[in-house]
Amino acid sequence: MKAGIHPAYEEVNVICACGHTFRTRSAHKGDIRVEICSNCHPFFTGRQKLVDTEGRVDRFQKKYQRGKEAAAAKKKRPVAV
């Protein structure tokens, strides 16, 4: 490594909005404040709910089903000779 071009890498506190605090290493000076951490994130706490608003998957499948039907209809058309 070249000397003098890299920032100082030191320990900093990461403070979450929920109050959870942990230490990590960073080139950032001072404390790092975050809105959500692994202590309060729904994915890590097991409180995550999957919401499929109006069947997003169903809408996607319908959209591409119409394309497949159009392609099949195009193949079935008689060829003008």
Residues 34-65: tens digit of each pLDDT: 988 888 887 777 776 665 566 778 888 888 88
- Residues 71, 74, 75, 76: is their CA dihedral positive or negative? positive
pLDDT interval class at 24 (50, 70, 90): very high
**Mean pLDDT value across the chain:** 83
**How would residue 12 be classed by pLDDT, with cut points 50, 70 and 90?**
very high
In the numeric block, the tokens 């994130």 are attached to: 41
Reported pTM = 0.50
> Is the pLDDT assigned to residue 20 strictly greater than 90?
yes
Region at 75 (left for phi over 0; alpha for psi -120 to 50; beta for the rest): alpha
Return the pLDDT at 53: 60
